[in-house]
Amino acid sequence: MSFGKGYNLNGVKEQIYHIHMCPKGNYMWRQIEFRDYLIAHPDRTKAYERLKIDLASGHKNDRGGYVVAKTAFINETLDLIKGKASH
């Protein structure tokens, strides 16, 4: 389950919250691995920051498009965690 609060159809944002709930072992738990990898790899964190800033300007009122546009970076990072890619 995923809950979001703070968005409206006009793109006006209040304080925004995202709450994700899932059973242990669910794919969503990979987000914790992703977070921990970024904490341990500041260069990768900086690259993610730049990507998010660039995407934010092009997807101002399109959260779905924004999420899709950063998926390749996230998947590449998850592959790094699994040892499938070199970085």
Question: b or e along 38-73 (b: 16 or more beta carbons within 10 Å of the residue's beta carbon)?
Answer: beebeebeebbeeeeeebeeebeeeeeeeeebbeeb
- Nearest CA to 19 out of 31, 35, 33, 34 is that of 31
In the predicted model, what is the mean pLDDT of residues 24-45? 92
pLDDT of 46 > 80? The answer is: yes
User: Which pLDDT does position 48 carry in this prediction?
Assistant: 97
Provide the residue type at 29 as one letter: W
**In angstroms, how far is CA 5 from the centroid of its own chain?**
17
Q: What is the pTM of this model?
A: 0.72
Query: Could you count the other beta carbons within 10 Å of the beta carbon of residue 16?
Result: 10
**Per-residue pLDDT tens over the stretch 49-76:** 999 999 988 998 888 899 999 999 999 9
